[in-house]
Structure 1
């Protein structure tokens, strides 16, 4: 099988490339060259935002499947649709749980793929998608519009893998490390008064899922997550248990993302009040972020519960 991976130079993307290579696939990696590709794969250096340069780098290459790890905007999606037309019959877009960011509600159910319909979502190519700050501030919207554009215009079969929050020892985002460091050092962890559950996935397992999906026959969106959601309090409890430390949870009087004043009196006994300017910890959400993984299971892939792998991820960071 000939596989093209766009991006994938670090974290679970690199693991994905190695899995494909070790399974016998001929792997071509496209990135800007800031990080060398793993041994045994073809490395093409090109900026995916430069359509002419991308075409030149690809030459006349054809692929059985393309896995796009770094498509963040509808402009990038439009370039991909044009450049890979006729080059591949199958395209995997690594999307995100953030497409559901404004769709969940406190106490709501886990969200199935149908909760976000890319066929009806508006696309605006005139927004300043080339501005890194704008893209960072509109990450979820960029992914929504990328899904929407490819769903409507892609000249190939499309799979959108909506990835949960990825955790592992090599996580460059520092989100799990925030909990490990603060709880391990006895510092407070600021959370919402009633943090809502989110879904997570282990870095090695999302790499395995993408490699598996590359050879499968299904199309459309699929949620990729461990089946057991955790809220910020539960996540802190797991981290504390592994570290042998009692988490100190605090509730800011007015969380920045919640205009409704709150009181520490709504918190559990382990919580206390915090200063109003204290930043909420990562993974503390006021809307339900849990994803329903029924479709992935029906397609034949069963994700490992977070309770199984999360302690290992915490130990990797604490080592």
Structure 2
């Protein structure tokens, strides 16, 4: 198939593109031109600023693709600038589990329905959840919901995580720096970067309509991350309400997501325990 990937040269975009190439797809990557990657095969590039409709129009000139995988649709205006200038048979958007309104265990896709959300045309605002809800909703102004997929992930972790969220805990324990953790016992789900990319690629060949969650099976407590790291480093965490605020603070409850819809489509996610402690080991070694 002829596939346009908007974004794809960073983080879990790389295993996604490699998985598409392994299936023999004709992949074009849209970027701002700031990065090129040695993928496992040949790709084409187009360069544009996806926040600028005129830039998209000049680059794509109303081309048509079998599938568009939109990894960086951060707002409704982003979606508008793209879809008013290109067409496709199917559209896959990298959304987020942040669209859900309440934290709890086993959240299902129907807890946020994009078609029922009041659309606001907006740019990339600081309210991440709101802007991503609008990004999903905006697609339905251009395409029928039956040919759209909204992929919702929790926090993505991996060896190439440029945000340093897991590394924060390891560095603070190793350097004996105080950190503030608001609740040691809240549990949450994650997904590994490789699986995050590969599931997006899987959906190119296995169409799903509407939203679909993706995450590893199981949850981990922040206390488990800390205690495992303490044991590995032979040092104790310094927990202090005046310390540096830790990533993943602010949970209201156990946070996990149902992946039944993905399983019904033939995709089974890994168990969290199969990779999370190996990733901590990797971060410790540095």
- Runs of 5+ in structure 2 lacking a partner? none
Contact 1:119 1:152 in 2 (8 A): no
Residue 151 (1) aligns with residue 129 (2) = no
1:27 Cα deviation after fit? 0.6
The 1-side partners of 2:60 and 2:243 are apart by 48
Q: How does 1:113-124 map to 2 (within 5 A)?
A: 113-124=109-120
Deviation at 1:16, TM superposition (A): 1.2
TM-fit CA distance, 1:122: 2.0
**Residue 238 and residue 61 in structure 1: after superposition, are their counterparts in 2 closer, same or farther (change >3 A)?**
farther
Q: Retained in 2: the 8 A contact 1:19–1:208?
A: yes
Alignment of 1:100-111 (within 5 A): 100=100, 102-104=101-103, 108-111=104-107
Q: Tell me, yes or no, if the aligned pair for 2:62 and 2:85 is still in contact at 8 Å.
A: no
Match of 1:264 in 2: none
Indicate the residue corresponding to 1:48 in structure 2: 50
Determine if contact 2:56/2:81 at 8 Å carries over to the other structure.
Answer: no
Change (3 A) 1:246 1:97: farther
Pair 1:2–1:284, CA change in 2 (3 A):
same
Would you say 1:278 and 2:274 are equivalent positions?
Answer: no
What is the alpha-carbon root mean square deviation over aligned residues?
2.1
Which whole-Å CA distance do the structure 2 matches of 1:112 and 1:148 have between them? 18
Give the match for residue 58 of structure 1.
Answer: 60
CA-CA distance at 1:172 after TM superposition: 0.5
How far apart are residue 197 of structure 1 and its match?
A: 2.3
CA contact (8 A) 2:61 2:85 kept: no
Unaligned runs of 5+ in 1: 251-273
Q: Show CA shifts across 1:13-64 (max 9, x none).
A: 1221122123211110001001114451001111111212212212353221
Q: How does 1:237-252 map to 2 (within 5 A)?
A: 237-241=227-231, 243-245=232-234, 247-248=236-237, 250=239
Partner of 2:28: 28
CA distance in 2: counterparts of 1:112 and 1:304, whole angstroms: 18
Runs of at least 4 residues off by over 6 Å: none
Matches within 5 A, 1:1-319: 1-39=1-39, 40-59=42-61, 61-84=63-86, 87-100=87-100, 102-104=101-103, 108-125=104-121, 127=122, 129=123, 135=125, 137-155=126-144, 157-193=147-183, 195-241=185-231, 243-245=232-234, 247-248=236-237, 250=239, 274-275=240-241, 277-288=242-253, 289-319=255-285
Offset of 1:238 from its aligned partner?
A: 3.9
TM-score (norm 1): 0.81
Which of 163-172 and 113-122 deviates more?
Answer: 113-122
C-alpha spacing 1:245/1:283, structure 2 compared with 1 (3 Å): farther
> Conserved in 2, the CA contact under 8 Å of 1:194 and 1:286?
no
Q: Provide the aligned length of Structure 1 versus Structure 2.
A: 281
